[in-house]
Amino acid sequence: MNSHVKGLLGHGVRWLVILLSLLVICKALLGLGYSSLRIERVVETALNNMEVPVAPISMRTKMGQGYELLLIKDREHGMYHQLNVKHSFGFLWSYRGGSVGMPIDSEVLLSFQGGGATIGKYLHYYYVGQLNDPQISRLQIRWYDGFQQEAEIKDGLYQAARTVRITKDDELQSGDDKLFAYDENGQLLYELDRERREIRSDTDKSE
């Protein structure tokens, strides 16, 4: 009887240690809290870490290689954020950088912000911005290599992303990227590039 109780106790202690160990290992492997099973949780952690309020995901664009570009619009505080996340093994989301606290300026009719990163064998490019002209019905990005892509538009913001596999000696190049804004008749309204990144209603309208 006594030895039976001792045996059970031994099992209990061993399993407790195993569970505690699992907790430590899970925490260590999940990285700096930037990974989670839920994408919303990853966004929350990233925004909390940057000390900006949590806001809903407005747009999700697949970049390729498991990467997604998220656009978060914080209507209340008049700003938007762009986060890169990676989806691994079909269930784990991880935060992989981004820009936080871009202001939503009602004077800006159209803006063109973007960047790129080399990750492994791939080049990841993206563009985000705001549009504030009801005439704009379609945004098109013409990438440096001539590839044309429609940007996704929602709620006064847009984004587009692209992933290119690196061929020999490829480098990040985006000098010739251009944004074209068309009205519903296909008439070109605005054109932006790396030199000219925004059109404002208070200064640029008269042109």
Segments of the chain assigned E as strands: 35-36, 57-64, 67-74, 79-88, 92-103, 108-111, 113-119, 122-130, 138-142, 148-150, 152-154, 157-165, 178-182, 188-193, 198-200
Tell me which H or E stretch contains 27.
helix 2-29
Per CB under 8 A, the segment of 40-48, 85-93, 132-140, 193-201 that binds other proteins is 40-48
Phi/psi for 120 (5° steps) reads 60, -125
201 contacts other proteins (rule: CB under 8 A): no
Q: How far is the CB of 102 from other proteins (least distance, A)?
A: 14
17 contacts other proteins (rule: CB under 8 A): yes
**Contacting other proteins (CB under 8 A), which of 1, 28, 185, 186?**
28
Q: How far is the CB of 36 from other proteins (least distance, A)?
A: 11
Nearest Cα neighbor of 139 from 163, 115, 164, 109 is 109
User: Contacts with other proteins in 46-85 (CB under 8 A)?
Assistant: 47-53, 77
Per CB under 8 A, the segment of 43-51, 86-94, 147-155, 193-201 that binds other proteins is 43-51
Interface with other proteins by CB under 8 A: which residues? 11, 14-15, 17-18, 20-25, 27-28, 32-33, 44-45, 47-53, 77
